[in-house]
Amino acid sequence: EEPAALPRDLEGRRVVVSAGGTAEPLDPVRTLGNRSSGRQGYALARVAAQRGAHVTLVAGSTADLAPPAAVDLVRVRTTEEMRTAVLDAGKGAEVVVMAAAVADFRPLDVAGFKIKKTDAEPEAIRLTRNPDILRELVAEQVPGRLVVGFAAETGDAEHDVLSFGRAKLARKGCDLLVVNAVGAGGDGRHSAFEGSDNEGWLLGADGSSTPLPMGSKAALAARVWDAVGARLS
């Protein structure tokens, strides 16, 4: 569903996109990770490159995706690796988009050898917090650089998706937050995760909120870059 003529509004702009999930080692053969496919981040990277940007795509675990043409692909596994790659590439960038599903926690102890099964009950896995890459990017306060976050939300009994999105935008301090409405059932199968379609809102730190209609991840990516392009100086 490529539009006939893509805008070249990102010509020469340097952008960083993170995609996919981070995975945290538990022992040499096991990790704690998530089901992010990386499709939204890949679509963002592909569309930005098509619109003329120099793109660094920092990719964690993904489905078996073909890397977009004409992007610099940096493969990472852990949150710490993603943090280093994103902060590094982000130094010279005018836009950083955190589309990755970053693991909030990692095992406190990583076993040097494969954990063996015995007749005893297994030990509980103790977790510790991971750094928040998005908040670190915001805290760097690079003049003129835009930082875009993503959030997949369901509502709960008292809050709708949009109010969770607003609260997250305020907490993170980024310039734009793409809020994906995760489908009913809460297992993420309906939209946002694994599927090919997305819907939600694009919230701006300036108080703006633009609905993102259900559509392909490429269409959502185009909307995001429209909003970013309009804010670039």
Interacting residue ranges for Ca ion, rule: CB under 5 A: 104
CB 137 within 8 A of CB 85: no
Q: How far apart are CA 97 and CA 86, in angstroms?
A: 10
Q: Which of 3, 88, 92, 104 binds ligand CTP (CB under 6 A)?
A: 104
Residue 198's SS3 state is strand
Q: In sequence order, what DSSP letters do the residues of 105-140 get, joined into one string?
A: EEESS--SSPPPP-SSPPPPPPEEEPP-HHHHHHHH
Contact between 17 and ligand CTP (CB under 6 A)? no
Q: Provide the minimum distance between the beta carbon of 44 and Ca ion in the complex, in angstroms, as a whole number.
A: 19
Cβ atoms 57, 17 nearer than 8 A: yes
* Alpha carbon separation from 163 to 25, 151, 179 (Å, rounded): 34, 12, 10
| Strand residue runs (E) in 60-181 | 72-75, 95-98, 105-107, 127-129, 146-153, 176-181
Comparing every residue's Cβ against Ca ion, the nearest one is 104
Residue with Cβ nearer ligand CTP (98 or 218): 98
User: Binding to ligand CTP (CB under 6 A): which residues in 113-142?
Assistant: 130, 132-134
Considering the complex, what minimum distance in angstroms separates the CB of residue 130 from ligand CTP?
5
The angle at the Cα of 233, spanning 213 to 92, to the nearest 5 degrees, equals: 95
102 binds ligand CTP (CB under 6 A): yes
Question: Applying CB under 6 A, which of residues 53, 71, 151, 228 lies at the interface with ligand CTP?
Answer: 151
Give yes or no: 130 in active site: no
# residues contacting ligand CTP (CB under 6 A)? 11
Q: Is 168 annotated as a binding residue?
A: yes
Residue 44 binding ligand CTP, by CB under 6 A: no
Shortest Cβ 57–ligand CTP spacing (Å): 14
Question: Given 34, 130, 180, 198, which residue is catalytic?
Answer: 34
133 is in an annotated binding site: yes
8 A C-beta contact, residue 217 and residue 43: yes
Residues that bind ligand CTP (CB under 6 A): 98, 100, 102, 104, 130, 132-134, 149-151
